[in-house]
Amino acid sequence: MLIELRKVDKIYRSSTVSFQALKEVDLSVEEGEMVAICGRSGAGKSTLLHIIGCIDAFDGGSYCLDGNDVGKLRDGQLSKIRNRLIGFIMQDFALVPKFTVFDNIAIPLYLGDIKMRKFQSAVQEAAAEVGLSGLLGKKANQLSGGQKQRVAIARAIVNSPKIILADEPTGALDAATAGEIIRLLKQQNEKGITVIVVTHDNTVAAACPRVIRIGDGRILSDEK
Ligand SMILES: Nc1ncnc2c1ncn2[C@@H]1O[C@H](COP(=O)(O)OP(=O)(O)OP(=O)(O)O)[C@@H](O)[C@H]1O
Ligand SMILES: [Mg+2]
């Protein structure tokens, strides 16, 4: 099993209050699946995705990622595994506005241990897959929403990850552009990459063979 969460809890704490955002979440995802995670605002979707992506810690339970016991790893080991296995598409694109398309796509390469001379071809290949080849020199803040999301996808795949995690990748896009983005994610999945996509959008969910619904920090249903 590629992803295996067992009774995972997440509690956000401040000095005065604590809030349990995930409650005993059990979730297994096999390599090659394409899964939608749906639920209302505040249900815990982003929290769950951040834990799966090892960018947030969990409280109770266990998480095994590609054979690694995530709760037992040190920070350094965790960021290596994350960089190698996971491409993240954030809720708000999270591009660096003044960087060019090329430099935005290259960010994970700077953080990993790929050789400099391989940068160019890795970035060009990722850009070509999402139809951005002509825009590599353009600044991110000069792009349309759909183009920005393509950059975010290219950045997520530039390291050849096993897993793509996408948080509301179509949230800010019109229906036609959203359809294009989903097609690109499906294309990655057809190459064998595991895709997990958080969405409010029923047409996005309908494009995924497996749909998990969460509410109030719990898994409500899980249907294939
Ligand atoms: N850093 C935080 N500190 C305290 N509470 C938080 C924090 N982040 C999220 N929460 C709370 O945890 C719950 C789940 O948040 P989360 O962001 O996972 O929801 P979501 O399902 O992604 O919602 P949306 O669809 O609006 O993005 C919410 O009630 C939210 O207020
Ligand atoms: Mg969210």
Reported as a single tens digit per residue, the pLDDT across 107-149 is: 988 887 777 778 899 999 999 999 999 999 999 999 998 899 9
Question: 194 in ligand 1 pocket by Cβ < 6 Å?
Answer: no
Question: 148 in ligand 1 pocket by Cβ < 6 Å?
Answer: no
- Domain count of the fold of the chain: 1
Instruction: Give, in order, the Cα–Cα distances in Å from 18 to each of 47, 56, 185, 215.
Output: 15, 16, 36, 18
CATH number at residue 60: 3.40.50.300
Residues 20 and 11 sit within 8 Å (Cβ to Cβ): yes
Q: Give the model's confidence band at 211: pLDDT under 50 very low, under 70 low, under 90 confident, else very high.
A: very high
Q: What is the pLDDT of residue 118?
A: 83
For ligand 1, atom 24, the nearest C-alpha belongs to 41
Position in ligand 1 atom list of the atom nearest CA 47: 18
Whole domain around residue 164: which residue ranges? Answer: 3-223
Q: What is the pLDDT of residue 209?
A: 95
Question: 38 in ligand 1 pocket by Cβ < 6 Å?
Answer: no
Specify the pTM.
Answer: 0.93
Question: 47 in ligand 1 pocket by Cβ < 6 Å?
Answer: yes
Contacts of 56 (CB under 8 A, 6+ apart): 10, 47, 50
pLDDT tens-digit map of 160-181: 999 999 999 988 888 888 888 8
Q: What is the pLDDT of residue 2?
A: 96
For ligand 1, atom 4, the nearest C-alpha belongs to 12
Residues 135 and 60 sit within 8 Å (Cβ to Cβ): no
